[in-house]
Chain A
Amino acid sequence: MTITKIKNVTKSVENYYDKSTEYEWNRLVRDKYHKLEWDTTQIFLKKHLPKKGLILDAGAGPGRYTVDLAKKGYDIILLDYSKGNVELAKIKVKEAKQEKKVKDFIQGTIVNLSQFKDNSFDAVICLGGPLSHVEKKR
């Protein structure tokens, strides 16, 4: 597994998440309230995802959805702007023995996905709020 680093990652969000990678990994299973976000999302992923294919997990955090979807048989490319999150995702994917299903780990921003061609993915997920943290590069 390799980690591809994209240059124009913004700093304040990256720093914030670099310091809270474990918190992020545990966030969706922390208690019944946080699990409600996870469980409800799962209902709609199951309803609308194709049965197989390549998924872009954009703003994946430490990869909780990536690991889960890989276990369900999907191929995944993981992208997050926090180096800490990408590093932890790599560990979590390895622990789950899903290295073959996760095709790449990319540190990058969802504002610029130019490393991917048009019409590349069978589904795209951007879950938990990455779009709430899109920042103009300073």
Chain B
Amino acid sequence: MLKKKDRQKAVNELIRVAKKNAPIFVSVMGKYAILLSAIKRWPNEVKDTVNFKRLSIDGDDYNWGSIKSSEKNKSFCHFFTVDELEKLFPKNKTKLLETVGLEGFASAQEKEFAELKDKTIQKNWLEAHNLLCTTRTAADISSHMLIIVKKK
């Protein structure tokens, strides 16, 4: 079972073992990126009423991995929002430095981005990505979001 208290326990441990002023980097998978591409990429997941409701509301996916591998090999995954990720880091113990969308606005265009050949499009896109990746929207819709905090 996926339990919020265990994620909190893990974050508390990462903070505990860090020295004072040490940076802590945590990247996780984002929930809204899944929703942005779900109908196009994973229609069968959306058809699964119970799991999809749990995924879209709570971020919990108990069919994770069944797409790229066999049913036997499937596992589970919790998909985050930025709010949820930030709340795991207590303000009295850590200082938030940055929240970053690692794929940012490319998250809804995975195939197109992966297959990009035009150098100018690539260059212009990356320039925009590097400028925008620390905006809250870019982080929230990203396939992976990174939080960087400093231990107080």
Contacts and interface: CB of A to CB of B under 8 A. Distances in A.
A58 to B, nearest CB: 6
A15 interface: yes
Interface residues of A, number: 50
Chain B residues touching A, majority SS:
mixed
Interface in A100-138: 109-113, 116-136, 138
A130 to B, nearest CB: 8
A12 B1 CA distance: 10
A37 B103 contact: yes
Interface in A17-32: 19-20, 23, 31-32
A19 B2 CA distance: 21
A133 B17 contact: no
Contacts of B65: 16
How extensive is the interface on chain B, given as a class? 35 or more
A41 B22 CA distance: 17
A115 B57 CA distance: 36
A48 B147 CA distance: 12
Contact of B100 (A40, A118, A132, A135): A40
A128 B102 CA distance: 10
Interface of A: 12-13, 15-16, 19-20, 23, 31-34, 36-37, 40-41, 43-45, 48-50, 56, 58, 109-113, 116-136, 138
- Would you list the 10 A-B pairs with minimal beta carbon distance, nearest first? A16-B75, A31-B114, A33-B114, A113-B13, A110-B10, A48-B23, A37-B102, A116-B17, A33-B113, A125-B25
